[in-house]
């Protein structure tokens, strides 16, 4: 799978993904009003608003980007109806030729992780019939339970040509609370990184592994070290833009081949119309604002590569 | 919420919960055949089999137990249809007066954890209307992202009288890979335990906190230490039975008041009819086998309390 991701990144010259994290507060009033008029102020109404919002953004940006990263929590908060919007969004993006990184951060004991892996990356057997459920190209995985919580995802990467990004160093303010604690003089996230390398060796696809790592843009000094520790690991880099990470902060996430990382922006793209820089588009043309924000982000990152 | 849980535990004299983790392999052929005849070998067919299986087990055991713990992965693997079965199961158990512990192991950056918390424990605002989605009494939470990934769940505990169990020391074989690593001479899980105490102080409900901890039955020496470190923290204890934990291993999870822990068994209860000890019931009477397994588990744990 990572070779497909790289191919798309090279074709678009855009090592970025758009985070489809549609909080209701980001969605323009006219989109919500239309959805609520049809389905009421209900979970179904919220899901419809999300779906319409996503469609417009995907239509306006799909030719510029290799991938999207829907954050499943933003759908799951609206229950079954929200998850239907997630499922529709995934399939719509795939029809548009985009790679979908399901930001699900799952991880459990072995048999349970196997269920998540089949449901999100692979297929599941019902009687004698093979069915697939969410079927995204990539998912994110939480490593706190160790190898037997991650291995079922790696197995699915191999069985179904899929990929994962394992949380190594997250972008949030308190990520250091446990991740930075020193074990034998080295931060925990480095130990996790070494395990990611080990897991990744079992799923190589060209020069890189299908087992990637989440490395936050907000901690550039750490990404420099992590880049060296994990030379064949693709990084999914959250934290650019709204969370405070700059293009300058990102450069250490890339290898000398200009590859090795895909940078996510969510709010900065999907809610661009709310920022002063894109206010001229207005809420009516929110998707055009998102397109311009994507073009600007690609240029911004291009400067440091 | 923890006071309600304790009340139910005291009323049933059963500090246990039944893990509703319906892998298709556990479901008797006649249940699957009926579901597949109606809905085909589809995700819908699988979800129907799960739902019928769960209903029978809940009907046969609800008067004996305080709580159930559905593992959402076992539903999520069947996509939207599976999650509908999760949702129906949650609501059915609540109608029967059971406390539902959604074993979801979510955890993310602050705004994302807030979305999970509203979706699973609280309610979400759609326009001017308040809607609720999965609405379980408890969920499990992964602490790898630190305080800002956990706090939104604690806030929801206070806003909606709910509870959480934070992963401290999990029951799986490789849980020690990161959780046991020494930080300043002490295992990481002890540091997590101290944070659980700190988070829990913000959500006390009687003698115990709504912020509980997951402590695996498979590591009794560690639970002894954790019990002392977290005197006011309720433990959710997986790993009894099929995973190898014995009643003897559990005794350190309880306080001297006989409270402080709720022990989960999944396979040992829901697939009891497959075990030699309950073979006499046969697949046709799988739910009666589950009932007997619950009675035996309560007696087994009663011996060490």
SS3 A190: helix
User: Consecutive 10-residue runs of chain A (305 residues): their mean pLDDT?
Assistant: 98 98 97 98 98 98 98 98 98 98 97 98 95 97 97 98 97 95 95 98 97 94 95 96 84 94 97 97 98 97 90
Catalytically annotated residues of B? 105
Cβ A146–B176 below 8 Å, yes or no?
yes
CA B210-B266-B301 angle, 5° bins = 70
How large is the average pLDDT for residues B188-201? 98
Q: What residue has token string 């070494």?
A: A194
CA dist B110 and A301 (Å) reads 26
Cβ A79–B106 below 8 Å, yes or no?
no
How large is the average pLDDT for residues B82-109? 98
- Output the CA–CA distances (angstroms, integers) from residue A34 to A54, A92, B128, in the order listed: 15, 21, 15
Query: What is the domain-level CATH number for residue B172?
Result: 3.20.20.70
Residue in B83, B58, B80 with CA at minimum distance from that of residue B69: B58
Q: Measured between CB atoms, which of A43, A144, A191 is closest to B142?
A: A144
List all residues 6 or more positions away from B5 whose beta carbon is below 8 Å from its beta carbon: B66, B67, B99, B137, B138, B163, B234, B262
Per residue in B124-165, pLDDT tens?
A: 999 999 999 999 999 999 999 999 999 999 999 999 999 999
Which residues on A lie below 8 Å from B21 (Cβ)? 112
Query: What is the pLDDT at residue A13?
Result: 97
A209, containing H or E segment: strand A208-209
> What chain B residue is nearest to A166 in terms of C-alpha separation?
B144
Cβ A107–B106 below 8 Å, yes or no?
no
- Dihedral sign from CA coordinates of A56, A62, A65, A70: positive
> What chain B residue is nearest to A267 in terms of C-alpha separation?
B111
CA dist A241 and A292 (Å) reads 14
Angle formed by the axes of helices B147-160 and B188-201, nearest 10°: 30
CA dist B267 and B86 (Å) reads 17
Size of interface A-B (CB pairs under 8 A): 228
Query: What is the pLDDT at residue A115?
Result: 98
Per residue in B2-41, pLDDT tens?
A: 999 999 999 999 999 999 999 999 999 999 999 999 999 9
Give how far A47 is from chain B: nearest CA, Å.
10
Cβ A107–B142 below 8 Å, yes or no?
yes
- Locate all alpha helices (DSSP H) within chain B, ordered by sequence: 2-12, 29-39, 43-61, 73-76, 79-95, 110-120, 147-160, 176-179, 188-201, 220-229, 247-250, 267-270, 286-302
Q: How confident is the model at residue B295 (pLDDT cuts 50, 70, 90)?
A: very high
Q: How many CB atoms lie within 10 A of CB A22?
A: 29
Q: How many CB atoms lie within 10 A of CB B247?
A: 18
Domain assignment of residue A293, given as a range: 2-304
Residue in B268, B281, B283 with CA at minimum distance from that of residue B17: B268
Query: What is the pLDDT at residue A243?
Result: 76
- Output the CA–CA distances (angstroms, integers) from residue B257 to A151, A177, A258, in the order listed: 40, 33, 62
Which phi-psi region, left, alpha or beta, contains residue B65 (left: φ > 0; alpha: ψ -120 to 50)?
A: beta
A164, containing H or E segment: strand A163-169
Percent of chain B having pLDDT more than 70?
100
DSSP annotation of A240: B
For B234, the token pair is: 């309720």
> What chain A residue is nearest to B23 in terms of C-alpha separation?
A115
Query: What is the pLDDT at residue A62?
Result: 98
Domain count, chain A: 1
CA dist A81 and A45 (Å) reads 9
Cβ A115–B191 below 8 Å, yes or no?
no
What is the predicted ipTM? 0.97
Give how far B11 is from chain A: nearest CA, Å.
31
**Between β-strands B208-215 and B163-169, what pairing exists: parallel, antiparallel or unpaired?**
parallel
Pick the residue of B35, B39, B146 with the most A CBs within 10 A to test the interface with A by mutation.
Answer: B146
Query: What is the pLDDT at residue B239?
Result: 87
Contact at 8 Å (CB) between B237 and B253?
Answer: yes
CA dist B9 and B258 (Å) reads 11
Which residues on B lie below 8 Å from A77 (Cβ)? 115-116, 118-119, 124, 133
């Amino acid at each position: 799978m990572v070779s497909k991701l790289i191919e798309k990144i090279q074709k678009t010259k855009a090592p970025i993904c758009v985070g489809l994290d549609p909080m209701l507060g980001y969605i323009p009033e006219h989109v919500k009003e239309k959805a609520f008029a049809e389905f009421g102020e209900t979970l179904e109404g919220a899901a419809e608003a999300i779906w319409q919002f996503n469609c417009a953004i995907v239509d306006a940006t799909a030719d510029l980007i290799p991938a999207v990263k829907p954050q499943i929590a933003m759908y799951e908060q609206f229950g079954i109806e929200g998850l239907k919007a997630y499922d529709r969004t995934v399939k719509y993006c795939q029809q548009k030729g985009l790679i979908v990184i399901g930001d699900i951060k799952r991880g459990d004991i072995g048999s349970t992780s196997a269920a998540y892996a089949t449901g999100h990356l692979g297929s599941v057997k019902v009687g004698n019939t093979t069915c697939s459920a969410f079927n995204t190209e990539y998912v994110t995985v939480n490593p706190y339970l160790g190898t037997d919580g991650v291995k079922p995802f790696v197995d699915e990467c191999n069985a179904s040509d899929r990929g994962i990004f394992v949380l190594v160093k997250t972008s949030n303010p308190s990520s250091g609370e446990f991740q930075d604690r020193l074990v034998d003089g080295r931060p925990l996230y480095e130990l996790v990184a070494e395990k990611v390398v080990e897991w990744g060796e079992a799923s190589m696809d060209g020069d890189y592994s299908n087992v990637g790592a989440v490395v936050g843009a907000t901690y550039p000094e750490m990404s420099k070290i992590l880049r060296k520790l994990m030379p064949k690991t693709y990084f999914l880099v959250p934290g650019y833009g709204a969370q405070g990470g700059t293009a300058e902060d990102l450069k250490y996430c890339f290898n000398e081949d200009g590859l090795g990382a895909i940078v996510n922006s969510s709010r900065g793209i999907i809610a661009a119309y709310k920022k002063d820089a894109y206010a001229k588009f207005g809420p009516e043309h929110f998707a055009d604002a998102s397109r311009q924000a994507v073009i600007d982000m690609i240029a911004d990152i291009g400067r440091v590569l």
